[in-house]
A and B are shown apart, each in its own frame.
Chain A
Amino acid sequence: MLIEILQQTINGLAIGGVYVLIALGLTTVFGILGIAHFAHGSISMFGGYLTYFLATSQGLPVLAAIPVALVAGILLGMLVEILAYRPVRNANHINAFIVALGLTMMVEGINLQLFGHEQVVIPTGLSRVFRLGGITVPELRLYVIVAAIVLVVAMMIFVERTKTGQAIRAVAENRDAAILMGVNVRTIPLIVFGMSTALGVAAGIMVGALFAIAPGIGEGLVVKGFAVLILGGLGSFPGAILGGTVLGITESIAAGFISSAYKDVIAFVVMILVLLIRPQGLLGRAP
């Protein structure tokens, strides 16, 4: 029993890491621009597809394909900010909402056109399995967990310890005051979209390596991402990290002990229960 719980917790940490990366991107964009960036999942999956394409059709080693996809993600994120969201920056919020929905359909369509409708798995060749007591840890899962932790720590250091990172926080907390500090509020959204999309692409690659990428996966992931934001507390980085980890582990334990067919149901039931007790989310502040 205990072994099984530990086993499912390890499994859950890997998928939880994916949720955390998606949720951190969504929460940063939401904090800066007040936009629910629905296309985030589909763009993340584009990054996963791209890695697959480079690693198979182009014959690149996966470890070389990943940085290329991450850089592509940064550029793509910036492009999305300039072309899709910047024009509606000062318009009614419903406009950005509609742009986000339209963008999601567009990117899903582009993914379908470019990469087809077959599900793909990024070939990592990592098939060793570590055994610790009664727990088995496939090396791929371990690397995914480590990579997620490294990315989250790197992002926290960037936000807390660099001038640009602090400017991002400042704009999220008080846009006018940030202007008075000399922050250029036109370049900050560019940086935020670049960073968020790179994190999303990393999550897309992880999904592609751990499971598979197929049409519709990205949309499901973005719904989970927003669920994590609400679970952790809107606008809170530690909340997104805790929320994503909790959701991943809950899903995994539910799949292991009850049925994988019900894992989403159980995960959302847990979320609803948390919100009944703490409407502001796990680490959110009471209004």
Chain B
Amino acid sequence: MLSVRDLKVSYGGIEVVHGVSLDVAAGECVALIGANGAGKSSTLKAICGLVPASGGSISFEGNDITRASGHAIVRAGITMCPEGRQVFPQMSVIQNLRMGAYTRTDPEQEADLSRMMDMFPILRERQSQAAGKLSGGEQEMLAIARALMARPRICLFDEPSLGLAPKIVASVFETLARIKAMGVTILLVEQNSMMALNLADRAYLFEAGRIVMEGAAGALKNHPDVMRAYLGH
């Protein structure tokens, strides 16, 4: 479904992703794990068109999207739930959710809206409040629901647990598991490797802008190098 080949990303002439190749099949949940600054988020941003690829190619359902603009990529079916939540702080919760469906023209948007608020009751409760007034965990739920409002063919999550209390992190991952069970294809970037590997079907381990290991999530979880470096065993 999504295929990245030899992707390179540079910021101001300094290359931070040095030729990364990865694939995500329809219905799969794939995690990118690794330390801070390993190039995971930059890879996601390049897929979404937020930063330009300086080399390599990205294709989605057979179409080359390497040079496509951000809004065209969303219309193709790729949605990202960004790092740091990035809600629209002065817009209401419901306005944020409606922005998620910006590219849609079908008549089922209102039905999806109430489905999202069934899934996240706190969003129904706070629907007319400014999104910036929500707690970090509530904003994360809003960002996830907003991303799903686009009815994406694949949903990218960038560090959904970052900056949240452990209890909230657990509930974020429960939510991701429910989304996975709904059949949404997921590409997840996460520093919390244990949580990510528990959720994902497959994973890629990033180190200094390269993929150093890939395989089934269960296999990576039990690999001695991964256990020592990332799982704290």
**Chain A interface residues (CB < 8 Å from chain B):** 163, 166-167, 169-170, 173-174, 176-185
Contacts and interface: CB of A to CB of B under 8 A. Distances in A.
B50 interface: yes
A176 B71 contact: no
A185 B86 contact: no
B103 A177 contact: no
Given A173-B91, A176-B82, A166 B99 contact: yes
Interface in B84-110: 86-91, 95, 98-100, 102-103
Interface stretch (B31-39, B72-80, B184-192): B72-80
Nearest to A285: B90
A181 B50 contact: no
B48 interface: yes
A181 B49 contact: no
Contacts of A167: 99, 102
Contacts of A163: 102
B71 A169 contact: no
Given A170-B91, A181-B74, A182-B150, A176 B50 contact: yes
B79 A180 contact: yes
Given A179-B49, A183-B71, A173 B90 contact: yes
Grouping DSSP codes into helix (H, G, I), strand (E, B) and loop, the A interface class, with mixed when no group exceeds half, is helix
A179 B86 CA distance: 11
B82 to A, nearest CB: 6
A170 B89 CA distance: 9
A170 B146 CA distance: 13
A163 B109 CA distance: 13
B70 interface: yes
Contacts of B48: 179-180
A166 B71 contact: no
Given A174-B86, A176-B82, A182 B91 contact: no
A167 B98 CA distance: 10
Contacts of B75: 182
Contacts of B150: 181-182
Given A166-B95, A176-B50, A182 B103 contact: yes
A27 to B, nearest CB: 13
Contacts of A184: 69, 71
Contact of B102 (A174, A176, A182, A185): A182
Contacts of B95: 166, 169
Interface in B184-232: none
Contacts of B71: 179, 182-185
